[in-house]
Structure 1
Amino acid sequence: MPPTKIRPVDRLAQAVAKCPAESTAYGKCIVADFHNVHKDKCFAEFQVLQACVQRHMGKR
């Protein structure tokens, strides 16, 4: 049986699932004042989450 190819969205979901603390911190930042969301509102939290996800995806 040939190896099955993982869809990119599934790879992303698996990587995000490995970053629960970072996801929670970003989500809490957004929800804290969701009526006033704007570009770069939670940029620092997003960068931490992004780094974690990239680490688990094997950044290309």
Structure 2
Amino acid sequence: MPSRTRPIEKFAQATAKCSTEAAAYGKCVFADYNGVHKDMCAKEFMRLKDCYLAAAKKK
């Protein structure tokens, strides 16, 4: 029986490949964490999202 990758495992693997993007997003949010508002770090978030999606598609 072939092993199946659970969704959380796939997410964890994708997350591990995007540490640079995650750090940039976290740094942006932390820079003004008392004044966080919608789309404050949209550019950094989109880079992180794109990285996750690309990493999740690769096996």
TM-score range, shorter chain: 0.7 to 0.9
Q: Which residue of 2 aligns with 1:17?
A: 16
Q: Which residue of 2 aligns with 1:55?
A: 54
- Partners of 1:39 and 1:3 in 2: CA distance: 43
- Partners of 1:42 and 1:25 in 2: CA distance: 9
- Partners of 2:18 and 2:45 in 1: CA distance: 12
Q: CA deviation at 1:55?
A: 0.6
Q: Percent identity?
A: 47
SS at match of 1:5: coil
Q: How many corresponding residue pairs?
A: 58
Q: Which residue of 1 aligns with 2:37?
A: 38
| Runs of 4+ residues deviating >4 angstroms | none
- TM-score when scaled to structure 2? 0.87
Q: Superposition RMSD on alpha carbons, in Å?
A: 1.4
Amino acid aligned to 1:26:
Y
Stretches of structure 2 that go unaligned for 5 or more consecutive residues are none
- Partners of 2:56 and 2:24 in 1: CA distance: 20
